Amino acid sequence: MDVDGSDVSPDMLGWCAAKAEVEGLFANLYPQAMHELDLPRRYQTIIVCGSFGLGGTRAADLEGLRRLHAHLEPGGTLVMDHYPPKRDTDYDQALVESHDLPHPWPDQGDRRRTDSGAELELRVRLLATDPVERAITREISVREFVDGVEVDHQVYSIVICGYSISEVESMLEIAGFGDIRVTGSLEDRPPQPQDEFIVFKATA
């Protein structure tokens, strides 16, 4: 199988390369954001996992879809997951709570052990809201522990734009896609309200 990959995070690409090597696989990996995608070839299929809506602005997210369309062969397929907002978004709930921003860090985080034996603790808090972009900014703290001792601590932020299913469909059409289909989760059925995520399939 001939596979390339891209991500804005060099760390993610490093983990991908390491896991591929363990499995005896190889992929060309490119450190590029979706809205800046500029690769040397076109593809029959592009799969996007957990990345849509993270471009920082709605304009960047739309440009990302345009770049994906440009990187597909005519008749090629885009497969993209999406986590639709619930209760008309995470963002709306965040806006209600935005009078007291940034939120304090939670007292405890989600700590998990890695393959190397180190532990990573993740904590997330709401940092800002943007009514114009219909977006929220979350701040993420990652602490690394070895034998119970903290050895590293990194903090970064991420902007998340919320989109309904119809908004994504419209953006795909604007980007040049056709034959847009939406299924619930990874099953071949219409989306249901309880689905945590949905999948878009569209043709270039």
Q: What is the pLDDT of residue 88?
A: 46
Q: Name residues of the chain where pLDDT drops below 50.
A: 87-89
Q: What is the pLDDT of residue 94?
A: 61
Q: What is the pLDDT of residue 181?
A: 96
What residues does each domain of the chain span? 32-84+163-203, 90-160
- DSSP for the chain? ---EEE-S-HHHHHHHHHHHHHTT---EEE---GGG---SS-EEEEEE-S-TT-SSSHHHHHHHHHHHHHTEEEEEEEEEEE---SSS-HHHHHHHTGGG-SPPPPSS-EEEE-TTS-EEEEEEEEEEEETTTTEEEEEEEEEEEETTEEEEEEEEEEEEE---HHHHHHHHHHTT-EEEEEEETTSSS---TT-S-EEEEEE-
Q: What is the pLDDT of residue 56?
A: 85
Q: What is the pLDDT of residue 55?
A: 83
May I ask the CATH class of domain 32-84+163-203? Answer: alpha beta
